Structure 1
Amino acid sequence: MEDVQDAEDLPRIEPSTHVLLHDLGVRRDGDEWIVGRMSTRTFVAMPAAGARAVELLGEGLSVARTERTLRAETGEEFDITDFIRDLAALGFVARIGDRPVPDVEPPRASLPWLRPQQVRFALSPVLPLLVGVLLSAAVAVLVRRPDLLPGYRDLLWSPHGSLVLLSGAAAGWALLFAHELAHLVTARAVGVPGRMRLGTRLQFLVMQTDISGIELAPRRHRLTAYLAGIALNLSVASALVIGLAVTDTGTTAHRLLAAALLLALMPLPFQLMVFTRTDLYFVLQDLTRCRNLYGDGLAYARYVFRRAVRLPRPGGTADADDPSTRLPPHERRAVRLYSVVLVAGTVACLAFMAAVTLPADITLLVRAARGLGPDHGVARNTDSAAVLVTLGGVNVLWLVTRWRDRRSRRSGG
């Protein structure tokens, strides 16, 4: 398919022109309306008059009649011609008059064979209750058996470092895939296509699921989709606790279950790092009714920094307007508070990487490289190769993913 045409390339729009819109979803959100096209995952917030104009155009009213209707209902004048051009730029218009508008290529969905009706159970109100029961049972077991609480030593279930690394990597990636699959399944149950892919958050390599379109769903379904991954991790961890309680301490099965339990719990503290747009970030954004908490928070932080050091804005001055003043009061307060968390958390993460993570990775990689060769035994060579493949592979994958994302942003993809 072709890209959407620029406004000047669109067919001429006359007062008598009728337009055909693509299938659009609409949901009221406070004083605004969310309007979007699920197939292209493009969504915008509009005032009530804009949503009403979309409704009238969708009913087949001409430009002139739409303007007259809106004027009669609101007492205000509206330029529907420009409005149609804006809709076309978003890919919402299929035809203007008798001429089709070139469409955009819709993003590919992960697991396209998975149908909403097949996963409707993910939206059942019974499911959170089952998760709660399982979690309560695990907490009760830990209260009676506090010795089952995992520690870092549980990861070292084998004396062979290569087995620990490879099994840990396999289990970790399997849990990560299951976490993202939970998001995808819940969103698909709502009718959102969803797409899983690798991404980066500061120094972290992550798997992420784009569930754009969930904005049109009711709040309960939105929050369910955002929290599905955390619920999956807690459910797995709870089942593992119960498994530990029924296996004999010291057995291989017990050690493996303890290691798996720690791997299931380890991603949960990361979710509190809302400055990296984790699952809890989207919950926070939804509850504060912000459109783009991260983007607006970053813009405000940059404004404050430039003002503090009196740096000129690119193409502007150091006294550029505060970007948060354009937001509604409730969003403005949330964005300004979030910007503090964003800056403090980012600085802390990067400082930790520079002081701890990076030196540790370099040390491990250097030791592994020195451990290879005919002068070392089979066990030492195997362990060194495992470290290089596992740790080195993750770092290379981070670099490749980061480069891909930056190139995609520069190309507008």
Structure 2
Amino acid sequence: MAVNTAESVVTVRPFVSTTDGADVIIGDTDRKVYLAIPAEGLDILQALAEGRTIAETARIYERKHGESVDVEDFVAVLADEGFVTRGGEPSAATEPAHEHAHRTIKRWSFDWISPATARRLTGAAVIVPGLAVILAGVAMAISDPGLVPGPRALLFEGGNFAILTIISVTLAMLGLSLHELAHALAARSVGVSATLGISNLMYILVAQTDISGIWMASKRARFKAFLAGFFVDAFAGSLLVAFLFATRRNVFDVPNWMSLLASAALLTFLVRIGFQFFFYLRTDVYYVIATALNCRNLMSDTERFLANGIRRMTFRRHKVVSQEGIPRKEMRKVRVYAAAWVFGRIFSLFALVFTILPVLWLYLEQFVLLALGEPTRFSSADFATVAVLAALLNGGGLAMWGRNLWRGWRRRQAEDARTLARQAATS
């Protein structure tokens, strides 16, 4: 493992930067890695990029700022994130150093949407009326709590289960598409690239819009981008509340199947809104919290902090990966978030064991009964509909979770090995 010394010359990967309060955010857009550094650190990075040695860079910094700085430690932090490499070392991998991003099935780009068009669609002329609709929907739901559907809404009692389930899932996919499009539009409004892919959050199959470049935008733009999908869900849900509110008061007559569909669609929007508050996963609310706390690597730093704790408890202190490069104030936030991470993951595992898997088992049991010619709860069409959806959504999510756990573990092992070797060489 090459070690940086005072006479070392390092290679700096191409990066972009933007000021964020007292810090500067530097970004490697190819790898989608973003790091906050002190504003003075940009002088160090620029000097290194000009080909100065570490010693020369330290002297330049001291002349400009009137104080000394440990450039070698700073370079070690940048090296951990893949922003710099020494001459004989391989360049950084093309995937993020710390985010351990989940692999996706395929990605579709939203970059064909011009920033000007996106600004018109996400401006005050759209947001203000939308907020009015949301407030009205909340008021109606409070005045008539019976409007809020429960899980039985998905049974479509009194209607054709198979047909209404297929239509309901189609509507849910449309709602999800609008949710992700909203994120993309908010990002494109400030010129940030956006792509859509299919991925997973633990065992839940999800669509995810990659707008990682938004970290180079202002904090206001980041909040807007992360909350855009939440806004769309609340707006669409409020329209459905208004529809059900009107039908319950006989403002107009609609077929029963239409009311059943509206209730089921409203339930999917409410579930999606509730899911965003599972901020121990990389949900929209997680990114809002990370932005508010100025912790751009909150999740990955937390996972490393917890892994280090396990290593200490299992007498493997020699494998503890240093987090000294993280500011003390930020590290306190990581410790607090770690508690939410642990309890949240435990909750999700309980939900998997006591909700998802039993439902899948029930479907399997019904399939066996159907194959044996015994009485079942579903007709053949009902069972086929549920079985296909369960296989695609639940089965797909579980499969991707298992694959990404394995790949993530291998990436972390390789990364930690490189970091430990660097720590051993400099100790």
Q: Shared topology, TM-score over 0.5?
A: yes
2:64 is matched by which residue type in structure 1? E
SS at match of 1:213: helix
1:35 and 1:44 in contact (8 A); partners too:
yes
Could you tell me how far 1:340 is from its partner in structure 2?
Answer: 1.1
In 2, distance between residues paired with 1:392 and 1:67?
59
In 2, distance between residues paired with 1:78 and 1:335?
26
**Structure 2, unpaired ranges of 5+:** 97-106, 413-427
2:389 is matched by which residue type in structure 1? T
2:32 aligned to which of 24, 41, 54:
41
2:37 is matched by which residue type in structure 1? M
2:186 is matched by which residue type in structure 1? T
In 2, distance between residues paired with 1:362 and 1:340?
32
Higher relative contact order (CA 8 A, sep 6+): 2
In 1, distance between residues paired with 2:341 and 2:407?
24
In 2, distance between residues paired with 1:311 and 1:105?
33
2:302 is matched by which residue type in structure 1? G
TM-score (norm. length: structure 1):
0.77
In the alignment, which residue of structure 1 is the partner of 2:114?
115
1:198 and 1:207 in contact (8 A); partners too:
yes
1:369 and 1:384 in contact (8 A); partners too:
no
**Structure 1, unpaired ranges of 5+:** 1-5, 9-13
1:24 and 1:92 in contact (8 A); partners too:
no
SS at match of 2:184: helix
Q: Share of identical aligned residues, percent?
A: 29
2:306 is matched by which residue type in structure 1? A
SS at match of 1:44: strand
1:299 aligned to which of 297, 300, 304:
304
In the alignment, which residue of structure 2 is the partner of 1:11?
none
In the alignment, which residue of structure 2 is the partner of 1:155?
154
> Greater CA deviation, 361-370 or 84-93?
84-93
Could you tell me how far 1:394 is from its partner in structure 2?
Answer: 1.9
In the alignment, which residue of structure 2 is the partner of 1:279?
284
1:71 aligned to which of 54, 62, 85:
62
In 2, distance between residues paired with 1:91 and 1:306?
24
* 1:24 to 2:26 alignment: no
In 1, distance between residues paired with 2:310 and 2:30?
39
- Assess, with a 3 A threshold, how the Cα gap between structure 1 residues 235 and 364 changes in structure 2: closer, same or farther: same
Q: Cα RMSD (Å) of the superposition?
A: 4.0
Could you tell me how far 1:311 is from its partner in structure 2?
Answer: 0.6
1:26 and 1:35 in contact (8 A); partners too:
yes
1:196 and 1:209 in contact (8 A); partners too:
yes
TM-score (norm. length: structure 2):
0.75
In the alignment of these two chains, the number of paired residues is: 389
Could you tell me how far 1:250 is from its partner in structure 2?
Answer: 5.7
Could you tell me how far 1:373 is from its partner in structure 2?
Answer: 7.9
> Greater CA deviation, 281-290 or 35-44?
35-44
In 2, distance between residues paired with 1:83 and 1:269?
41
Could you tell me how far 1:45 is from its partner in structure 2?
Answer: 2.5
1:38 and 1:192 in contact (8 A); partners too:
no
In the alignment, which residue of structure 2 is the partner of 1:354?
353
Could you tell me how far 1:221 is from its partner in structure 2?
Answer: 0.6
In the alignment, which residue of structure 2 is the partner of 1:166?
166
The CA deviation string for residues 299-348 of structure 1, in whole angstroms up to 9 with x for no partner, is: 333344454xx3123754xxx58x66653333222211111111112112
* 1:131 to 2:130 alignment: yes
In 2, distance between residues paired with 1:182 and 1:344?
30
In the alignment, which residue of structure 1 is the partner of 2:262?
257
